[in-house]
Structure 1
Amino acid sequence: MKESKLIKEIPLASNDDGMITVANIKDPYGQNSGEVVSVAVWLSKSSEEPDWKVHIPAENLDAVIEALQEAKKAL
């Protein structure tokens, strides 16, 4: 059974009505499919579904965080 836990809602810098959500999702693709972190971008908070989302397997999370930190330094 798919369980999700919202971790944080972040206002979207480029859009007054948008947001970024970060959530943990257990078994997103069915029983024993593992846990993922879902990062979703909503251009409008009133939308039923996000405009973009990515599911990052828990096992890849440290490497993705490291890459995001490198990307931030390069800005």
Structure 2
Amino acid sequence: MLKLRSTATELLLKEDWNEYINLYSRFISRCHFPQTSPNDDDDDCTNLRQTLCSALSNRAEAYSKLRDLSSFPS
């Protein structure tokens, strides 16, 4: 997770939006949640959900920087 954040920060500072989008897209596609019952809400799952929300938000912001909202995945 630290490597992801470090790489994302480097790309953000360079304003390399395409690679920033690619980085977060790869991360998002690899997120898998364990099978749990609705009452199970362990810290790892909560942290993963929070990280996934941040990744989706950061990727959306990068798309807006490119002004390319038409390519935003649905």
Shared fold, TM over 0.5: no
Q: Please, what TM-score do these two structures have when normalized by structure 2?
A: 0.25
In terms of fraction of residues, the more helix-rich structure is 2
Q: Please, what TM-score do these two structures have when normalized by structure 1?
A: 0.25
In terms of fraction of residues, the more strand-rich structure is 1
> Larger RCO: Structure 1 or Structure 2 (Cα < 8 Å, ≥ 6 residues apart)?
2
